[in-house]
Chains A and B, each alone.
Chain A
Amino acid sequence: MKRVYVNENWCLGCRLCEYHCAFAESRQKDMARALRGVKINPAIRIEANNGISFAVSCRHCKQPLCVKACITGALHITNGIITADKARCVGCYTCILSCPFGAISQNETGVIQKCELCTASHGSPACVKGCPNNALVYEERE
């Protein structure tokens, strides 16, 4: 299965991935309009420290601890992609407790959000398309 892979050597820390993620999630047409004045809350997050930076988003693990731990059944695997049924999430955050990558976060309404690779909405991950330096790639490995 295709996944997003991160090469920190190429990451500029520009956070365009975060903006493209938030824009994709907004389902709007114009990026400037969608994000102007908005404090974004993207499903991909840059970690940066001492000149090193890299993006972190869901790894779509083959043995996902978040899915196994979910107390309601809101998280499941569909064709290898770990998806969250927001209507079934009660915001207990057992998945946040479980994810070893820190890749699941809370959305504005208190339920969880995570990267679902944009496949349903945009065909392929918007963060990768928006990365200016190939620090993010979307490909088949192993």
Chain B
Amino acid sequence: MEYVIIGNSAAAIGAVEGIRSVDKKGTITLVSNEPYHTYSRPLISYLLQEKVTEDAMKYRPDTFYTENACRLIFASAVQIDAKKKRVLLDNGQELPYGKLLTATGSSASVVPFAGLQSVKNAFTFMGLDDAKALRAALKPDCRVLIVGAGLIGLKCAEGIVKLAGSVTVVEVADRILSAVLDGEGAKKVQAHIESKGVSFMLSAKIERFEETRAFLSDGRQIEFDVLVTATGVKPNVDLLKGIARINKGILINEKSQTSATDIYAAGDCTECVDVSSGESKIMALLPNAYMQGECAGLNMAGVDTAFTQAIPMNAAGFFGLHIISAGTYCGEVYTCAEKDYKKLFYSRDKLNGYILIGNVEKAGIYTSLIRGATPLSSIDFNLVCRHPSLMAFTKTERAAKLGGEK
């Protein structure tokens, strides 16, 4: 079998490991338009903080490609010929495939603000090259404006706060991290990040830019030297246009198959069903990318496999304050807002979602209740609300989990 994978990040690596767990012989070719050994994209902010070196960002060891007998080509895939089963690269090469995986990820979705072209020092924060370019533009006295208080904007803020004179984050929504936090939780995290030297302007709509100045719709103006736009990501779907079904992301089933024969897709470029809400969504997060990729790889190699437990879930720390969240925030709410912050959302005998800030111990027990759609009536829900613990399960269930008697 000839496997071709477009991409070289989490989803692609998952696919290689999936394929090689069952097929040691088939040829695997990876195509990457980022000229690097596979690296952990989330680490770009840690690189700026000097918490990791570029070498330590490698997502897999140096021996990965040789050990898995893969060929890695640094080029851009420009076209897929689904009839002839070939991928055309920008260097003129044509790659025939038996099974193809598009693991093309996502790109920065930059809001087309008026006057943006007049800004000289404008960056996005999606990859290693972005991080290097941004680093080179930063000076100890420079004023940085970050547009967007999502995960990527705030990770960027954390990464550069010590390298810049000031960092201001402008956000159109009324709270930070609106995709992962509720209003109350967002306030708590915001206060913490502010205490570390980052300023926020919320419910602030940028109308236009003029070189080093941003104009807000309420008349306010912000002067800056360096601009980072982090206004969201969009899935890279173009290669499959006219070939497979695409909504916002490439549509895949639980086997990571697209609607086109022998073409699979995985990771940030796709859209799939979130089991916590039943809705089809883009879940641009690394664990889902890896698992969809692995599932694709197994199916490409002929092993019938389904990945049916995709949910939005995120673990992130900002200046030492940890947040873990998962699922959908709907239903009744269990709250505990003492020193740490906890919210559990449940309805119809199921846990739908949760948010933990500060104490994130054993969070995975909550995640497993969501993923497994565990009936809450089958466990000690009161106990699990207070402390995520295996004690909340029945004795039989505990024995199954831990081994019990032989």
Contacts and interface: CB of A to CB of B under 8 A. Distances in A.
Interface of A: 3-9, 47-49, 52, 54, 56, 59, 65, 68-69, 71-73, 87-88, 90-102, 104-105, 110, 137, 139, 141
Contacts of B52: 90
Contact of B402 (A5, A71, A90, A93): A5
Interface string B114-129: 0000000000000000
A11 to B, nearest CB: 10
B268 interface: no
Interface residues of B, number: 50
23 contacts: A5-B403, A5-B406, A6-B402, A7-B399, A47-B391, A54-B390, A69-B290, A71-B43, A73-B40, A92-B315, A92-B317, A93-B322, A94-B315, A96-B315, A97-B324, A98-B364, A100-B365, A101-B364, A102-B362, A102-B389, A110-B320, A137-B403, A141-B406
Contacts of B320: 110
Contacts of B361: 96, 102, 105
A6 B404 contact: yes
B180 to A, nearest CB: 12
A94 B360 CA distance: 10
Nearest to B293: A68
Contacts, number: 128
A68 B362 contact: no
Most buried by B among A4, A6, A110, A139: A6
Nearest to A10: B405
B367 interface: yes
Interface of B: 10, 14, 40, 42-43, 46, 51-52, 56-61, 286-287, 290-291, 294, 313-317, 320, 322, 324, 326, 360-365, 367-368, 383, 388-391, 395, 398-399, 401-406
Given A96-B315, A97-B315, 19 more contacts: A4-B403, A6-B403, A6-B404, A8-B395, A8-B399, A9-B405, A49-B389, A56-B390, A68-B14, A69-B291, A73-B58, A93-B317, A93-B363, A94-B286, A94-B315, A95-B364, A96-B361, A101-B390, A102-B362
B146 to A, nearest CB: 20
Contacts of B324: 93, 96-97
Contacts of B60: 73
B206 to A, nearest CB: 30
